Amino acid sequence: MFRCIFLTTLSVALALPPQSGRAQESPTDSQFAPIFNGKDLTGWHGMPHFDPNKLAAMSEEDRQSKIEEWTADAKEHWSVEKGDLVNDGKGAYLVTDKDYTDYELKLKYKTVPVADSGIYLKGNPQVQIWDSTQESKFSLGANLGSGGLWNNSKGAAGKDPLVLADKPFGEWNQFKVRQVGSRTTVWLNDKLVVDNATMENFWQRDKPLFASGPICLQTHGGEIRWRDIEVRELSVAEANEVLAARNDAEFTSLFNGKDLSGWKNAVDNYEVVDGAIRCKKGKGGMLLAEKEYANFVVQVEFKLPPGGNNGLVIRSPGDGDAAYAAMCELQVLDSEHPKYAKLDDRQYHGSAYGMAAAHRGFLRPTGEWNFQEVTVNGSTIKVELNGNVILDTDLSTITDYLADRKHPGKGRDKGFFGFAGHGDAVEFRNVQITEL
């Protein structure tokens, strides 16, 4: 439910993509489930444009009272007519009771001149709907059409739709939206209008989109009708496949899925199990790919056991402590395990160990495969976890270190990539790299 799952997500998570040719494949129509029953507002409640962080900060009693107030207002302005969900252009927006993480959304809408609307994803505004002929709003981009992520920053990917795809007034328009982490792809009337763009967190610009949240139908300024509202939730495997495909670069596999050919150093402390590299329990050390890299992008899937601890080694000289001798060690950690409750922020998953803290709350449950992409370019490093940018920093600017221990290797401009085991059976697979 929105009132528990989404708020829990907020308490944990409260953190310009390349174009992808593969994103132009329209999402499958199979296995979609209706979230509007065509009869009444079951499964939905009211909420205006309101910061979910402020809602989360309320007491349970105050929060429930506020939602009931908003829902009563929504019922004054929303109705169902012959299977259509209709709003008169006023009142609170309509919000799903359920939260969604990675999913595909389909719906149809029909509106009138000068009306302005949109779809909030994970409680965040918004996939834009408006009158593309309204000249007074051409300066805002109305002439470019609907479907863009209008609240993204000026010039950011996705803010403006790639093509004008709106149908004339009186006709039904159809959206298909794919949301994986913070990455949004939108088709309007079967035309690609947003291609795997990062949806910015409107409420907290310095953090990623919420890990999970509700779908919201915004409306104001004129009647809008909705119908055939359906969702298909993506499996972990499907979400990871989408994330791996979004980058058009030619990647080279570092792992053949069978043995540790092409790897060196602590080879005896790792094993290959079911197509994955696994650190032997009680063992550790650096397992490094044989080739040195300067600037690169690496993609990897990893799976943590409860309390699991490992790391991604970035530009190692081939020996020494990865966290200090290499450019950095990026933590791979079951951050929410109780035994790690009192760590420094710079020790949690995705952080450049001891130097730069990553945003938390975006790991999947232990035992599930996570997808991570790391971009290393000069002194900068960016970490994207399950579609959410959790770290984007320039290590050359860092002067404050954990325990005042400096990192002499942070200025290295090339070195070896690999894993830094710390005695736990952490697994890695689909390890791919491309040089910039």
Beta bridge partners of 333: 309
> Is the separation of the CB atoms in 322 and 313 below 8 Å?
yes
Q: Which of 184, 211, 234 is the last residue of a domain?
A: 234
Q: Which amino acid is at 333?
A: L
85/198 same-domain check: yes
Does residue 239 lie in a domain region? Answer: no
Does residue 52 lie in a domain region? Answer: yes
Does residue 208 lie in a domain region? Answer: yes
225/353 same-domain check: no
Q: Which of 234, 261, 288 is the last residue of a domain?
A: 234
254/109 same-domain check: no
Tell me how many domains the chain contains: 2
256/223 same-domain check: no
Does residue 313 lie in a domain region? Answer: yes
* Residues 95, 39: Cα–Cα separation, whole Å: 16
Does residue 282 lie in a domain region? Answer: yes
Q: Which of 181, 207, 234 is the last residue of a domain?
A: 234
230/253 same-domain check: no
Does residue 240 lie in a domain region? Answer: no
CATH number of the domain encompassing residue 40: 2.60.120.560
124/230 same-domain check: yes
Q: Is 419 helix (H, G, I), strand (E, B) or coil?
A: strand
225/319 same-domain check: no
- 349: number of Cβ within 10 Å: 29
Does residue 197 lie in a domain region? Answer: yes
User: What's the domain range around 334?
Assistant: 249-435
272/129 same-domain check: no
* Residues 332, 114: Cα–Cα separation, whole Å: 50
304/429 same-domain check: yes
DSSP per position, 259-307: S-TTEEESGGGEEEETTEEEEPTT-EEEEEEEEEESSEEEEEEEEPPTT
> Could you give the C-alpha distances from 153 to 17, 94, 159, in angstroms and in order?
14, 25, 7
Per-residue pLDDT of the chain (436 residues; tens, 9 = 90+): 333 334 433 433 333 333 333 343 444 556 899 999 999 999 999 999 999 999 999 999 999 999 999 999 999 999 999 999 999 999 999 999 999 999 999 999 999 999 999 999 999 999 999 999 999 999 999 999 999 999 999 999 999 999 999 999 999 999 999 999 999 999 999 999 999 999 999 999 999 999 999 999 998 889 999 999 999 999 999 999 999 998 778 999 999 999 999 999 999 999 999 999 999 999 999 999 999 999 999 999 999 999 999 999 999 999 999 999 999 999 999 999 999 999 999 999 999 999 999 999 999 999 999 999 999 999 999 999 999 999 999 999 999 999 999 999 999 999 999 999 999 999 999 999 999 9
* Residues 130, 117: Cα–Cα separation, whole Å: 6
19/141 same-domain check: yes
167/308 same-domain check: no
199/265 same-domain check: no
Does residue 147 lie in a domain region? Answer: yes
